[in-house]
């Protein structure tokens, strides 16, 4: 709540309370005096009077326990969570899905996506930029492990295409598909790809059912009327 500003004057919440205190005769109000004045005010959480300077869609909301908080739209919270997850596959998936969304609605903004990606790489803080750039390094250990896991998973699918290797058998069988000189990942119970994991563990029938489910879900979401 302390991040909101007045729509008419641009004052922050603290600045607004300080002005009210001075108008009531308190020249140098303390934090306790401001809090007491805030509690006595009526209509102190009006969305018509207050807004968030960086998120105009945010709304002041009263919780069940009586407290007041600032509620942000779900897509804004999700976007921040995706960025802070530092999960590269999630970044790529979100970027691709957003691109398909723009194409579906024939938005001209789709042509801006490459510029957005370039700006993200150039302007991102150090840890984020390093996380992005290491995606394109084939010698990076995490990338090499992924390629190895996908290869092993594909070999398992080719050997047991119908019913797969069985539940819980990926990890004990994994090293049998490696040459003596290949490094063994610290954890190899999951093949770092849900589709390959399903195919290797349960076979192509289960994999096909999962893919059909996802395609039906996407079709339903795309066909649903927009609000």
User: Residue 202 is encoded by which pair of tokens?
Assistant: 């349960």
pLDDT: which is higher, 9 or 192: 192
Burial of 222: CB neighbours in 10 Å, binned 0-12, 13-18, 19+? exposed
Q: Could you give the 3-state DSSP secondary structure of residue 62?
A: strand
- Per-residue DSSP letter, 184: P
Give the HSE-up count for residue 218: Cα atoms under 13 Å, Cβ half-sphere.
10
User: Residue 181 is encoded by which pair of tokens?
Assistant: 């000189």
Distance CA 137, CA 100 (A): 26
Cβ–Cβ under 8 Å, residues 201 and 165: yes
Per-residue pLDDT of 173-226, as tens digits, reads 999 999 999 999 989 999 999 999 999 999 999 999 999 999 999 888 777 665
Distance CA 141, CA 59 (A): 45
Cβ–Cβ under 8 Å, residues 89 and 74: no
Could you tell me which residues are beta bridge partners of residue 5? 12, 51
User: Residue 148 is encoded by which pair of tokens?
Assistant: 């190895």
User: Residue 112 is encoded by which pair of tokens?
Assistant: 């801006």
Average pLDDT, the chain: 83
Per-residue pLDDT of 13-56, as tens digits, reads 788 788 878 888 888 888 888 777 777 776 666 777 777 776 66
Cβ–Cβ under 8 Å, residues 100 and 78: no
Cβ–Cβ under 8 Å, residues 206 and 164: yes
User: Residue 152 is encoded by which pair of tokens?
Assistant: 């092993």
Structural domain spans, the chain:
5-72, 75-136, 141-223
Helix orientation angle between 31-40 and 13-23, rounded to the nearest 10 degrees = 90
Cβ–Cβ under 8 Å, residues 52 and 70: yes
**129 vs 112, 114, 117, CA distance in Å?**
20, 16, 11
Q: What average pLDDT score do residues 92-120 get?
A: 81
Residue 159 has pLDDT above 90, yes or no: yes
Phi, psi of 69 (to 5 degrees): -135, 165
pTM above 0.75, yes or no: no
Interstrand relation of 59-62 and 5-6 (parallel, antiparallel or unpaired):
unpaired
């Amino acid at each position: 709540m302390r991040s909101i500003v007045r729509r008419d004057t641009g004052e922050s919440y603290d600045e607004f309370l300080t002005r009210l205190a001075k108008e009531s005769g308190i020249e140098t109000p303390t934090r306790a005096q401001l809090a007491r004045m805030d509690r006595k005010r009526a209509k102190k959480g009006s969305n018509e009077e207050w807004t968030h300077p960086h998120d105009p869609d945010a709304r002041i909301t009263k919780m069940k326990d009586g407290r007041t908080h600032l509620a942000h739209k779900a897509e804004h919270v999700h976007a921040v969570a995706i960025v802070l997850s530092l999960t590269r596959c999630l970044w790529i998936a979100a970027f691709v899905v957003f691109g398909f969304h723009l194409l579906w609605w024939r938005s001209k903004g789709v042509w801006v996506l490459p510029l957005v990606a370039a700006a993200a790489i150039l302007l991102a803080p150090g840890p984020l930029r390093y996380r992005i750039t290491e995606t394109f390094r084939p010698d990076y250990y995490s990338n090499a492990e992924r390629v190895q896991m996908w290869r092993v998973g594909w070999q398992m699918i080719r050997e047991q295409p119908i019913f797969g290797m069985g539940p819980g058998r990926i990890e004990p069988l994994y090293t049998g598909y490696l040459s003596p000189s290949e490094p063994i990942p610290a954890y190899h119970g999951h093949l770092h790809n849900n589709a390959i994991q399903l195919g290797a563990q349960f076979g192509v029938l289960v994999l096909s059912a999962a893919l059909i489910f996802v395609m039906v879900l996407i079709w339903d979401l795309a066909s649903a009327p927009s609000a």
